[in-house]
């Protein structure tokens, strides 16, 4: 969890916002997903891990920057953001 938060703050908060609500930096007008929303939280771990790893739309792919373990840790953290 602590590790996941570290990864999140370093790599994700810039776009998704420190609370995960998607209020960070908007690139090319695309809204970073609101990670606290049911639409995201209702997706399976596998689906979210795959988005995190492959990237999605304008979100960059993280598979060269994050290890499998980092991706799982950050997903654990994202799960704690659910409202
Ligand atoms: C450069 C900005 C940017 C960064 C950095 C970023 N994201 Fe995203 N993210 C986006 C955008 C934009 C979307 C929405 C993509 C779409 O569905 O159009 C998104 C979508 C998502 C989704 C939803 C995927 C789905 O299946 O709907 C998750 C989960 C996610 N990001 C997690 C992360 C995590 C974890 C990190 C850090 C490792 C991260 N993002 C870093 C911009 C970013």
Averaged pLDDT score across all residues of the chain: 81
Q: Which of 4, 39, 48, 59 to mutate to test the pocket of ligand 1 (most atoms within 8 A of CB)?
A: 59
Of ligand 1's atoms, which has the minimum distance to the CA of residue 50? 26
Q: What is the pLDDT of residue 68?
A: 82
Question: Does the CB atom of residue 1 touch ligand 1 within 6 A?
Answer: no
Beta carbons of 81 and 36 less than 8 angstroms apart: yes
**Is a pLDDT exceeding 90 seen at residue 44?**
yes
Q: Count of CB atoms within 10 A of residue 55's CB?
A: 13
Measured CA angle at 31 (ends 4, 15), to 5 deg: 35
**Is a pLDDT exceeding 60 seen at residue 26?**
no
Q: What is the pLDDT of residue 6?
A: 92
């Amino acid at each position: 969890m602590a590790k996941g938060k570290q990864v999140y703050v370093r790599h994700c908060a810039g776009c998704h916002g420190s609370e995960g609500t998607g209020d960070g930096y908007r690139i090319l007008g695309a809204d970073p997903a609101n990670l606290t929303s049911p639409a995201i939280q209702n997706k399976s771990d596998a689906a979210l891990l795959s988005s995190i790893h492959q990237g999605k739309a304008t979100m960059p792919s993280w598979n060269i920057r994050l290890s499998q373990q980092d991706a799982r840790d950050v997903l654990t953290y994202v799960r704690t953001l659910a409202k």
